[in-house]
Each structure stands twice: as structure tokens, then as C-alpha cells.
């Protein structure tokens, strides 16, 4: 069954939102690099890569279902963050907005009786729980650290260990 116009439209908006997310996190990564917090820069760089894979998962799904990919311009992101806490609080707020957008697509898919889209979207609903939890946890740690430079550097070191793993691929890592 071909994807409905309403679901197609919502998915196209989500593709834009996911690419915007990648752009946002890449901008934050650059700012952390400027602040010489390379672990936090790494964590957000990996997050940017992850967001691009999410965009591509939506993109491929839309086309596989006979939809039309509409790709409008990506909105610019701010580059004047002052503190790590400010950035991770913004990341958490952003992830909450993305979750709401995905939940809205689920609602549209269910209203359209588009079970294939609803099934695919379950992966994103679950993923967003993790996305929100990760950003919130880092923001909470930064609140606990407060003004402690030692604590900030310990967290920076912890975040430097994150590596990109394409979670959109099936088990075994081979692209279908």
C-alpha cells in the first residue's frame, strides 16, 4: 500500500527536523571544541551522526512506500552558547520537541490506518526515550558538578569514549 499524503508530509517534515538536529549538534560540537572540551565535542559529533542516520531511515522509508521526498532548506542554528549546561539543557529540550513530532506522526499513521508506518515509527518512539534520557542525564550531571572544573573535566573525559554505531541497521550491521 502506498504511503498516504498526510503521513508522507509528516515524514518529510521529520526528515528536515532530523537533519536540523544533526546541524544543531554539529554546531554544539564545534562550540565545545572551541572551549577545549573535546569529550563533549565528541559526544555531540557522534550525536550529529546518529541524527543523520535517523533522517536517512525516514527518507528511505518514505521512498520505499512510494512517497515523494520533499527537502526544504534547513534552518540555521545558534552558535553563541556560553556554558556546557546551557547546551545540554537545549539538547534535552530539543529532544522533547522531536519526541512530540514523532508521536504526532504515529497519531497520523494510526488515523490513516497505515500500519506499516506505525510499525516503523515504534523504533523511533523507543529511540526517543533513550535520546531524552541521555541529554537529561548529562544536563543533570552538569548541574551536580556546578562550578567544579575537576568535575567538568571528569565528565568531559567520560563523554570522550562515545563512538558512533549505526543503530538503524539490522543486527549484524549489514544494510538491507
Residue with cell 536517512: 56
And the C-alpha cell for 51?
541524527
- The rounded distance, in Å, linking the Cα atoms of 26 and 45 is 6
Q: pLDDT band for position 29 (50/70/90)? A: very high
Position 79 scores a pLDDT of: 87
Per residue in 41-63, pLDDT tens?
Answer: 999 999 999 999 999 999 999 99
Fold of domain 5-159: Ferritin (1.20.1260)
For residues 16 and 74, the answer to whether their CB atoms sit within 8 Å is yes
Whether residue 122 is predicted with pLDDT greater than 80 in this model: the reply is: yes
Q: pLDDT band for position 23 (50/70/90)? A: very high
Per residue in 155-176, pLDDT tens?
Answer: 999 999 999 988 777 755 555 4
* Average pLDDT for 122-131: 96
Instruction: Return the closest-CA partner of residue 125 out of 109, 144, 147, 141.
Output: 109
Amino acid at each position: 500500500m502506498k504511503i498516504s499524503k498526510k503521513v508522507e508530509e509528516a515524514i518529510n517534515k521529520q526528515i528536515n527536523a532530523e537533519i536540523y538536529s544533526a546541524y544543531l549538534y554539529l554546531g554544539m560540537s564545534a562550540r565545545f571544541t572551541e572551549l577545549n572540551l573535546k569529550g563533549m565535542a565528541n559526544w555531540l559529533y557522534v550525536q550529529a551522526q546518529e541524527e543523520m542516520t535517523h533522517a536517512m531511515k525516514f527518507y528511505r522509508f518514505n521512498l520505499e512506500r512510494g512517497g515523494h521526498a520533499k527537502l526544504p532548506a534547513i534552518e540555521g542554528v545558534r552558535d553563541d552558547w556560553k556554558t556546557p549546561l546551557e547546551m545540554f539543557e537545549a539538547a534535552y529540550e530539543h529532544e522533547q520537541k522531536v519526541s512530540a513530532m514523532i508521536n504526532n506522526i504515529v497519531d497520523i499513521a494510526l488515523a490513516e490506518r497505515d500500519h506499516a508506518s506505525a510499525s516503523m515509527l515504534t523504533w523511533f518512539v523507543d529511540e526517543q526515550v533513550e535520546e531524552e534520557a541521555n541529554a537529561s542525564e548529562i544536563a543533570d550531571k552538569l548541574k551536580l558538578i556546578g562550578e567544579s572544573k575537576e568535575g567538568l573535566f571528569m565528565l568531559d573525559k567520560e563523554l570522550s569514549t562515545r563512538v558512533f554505531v549505526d543503530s538503524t541497521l539490522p543486527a549484524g550491521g549489514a544494510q538491507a
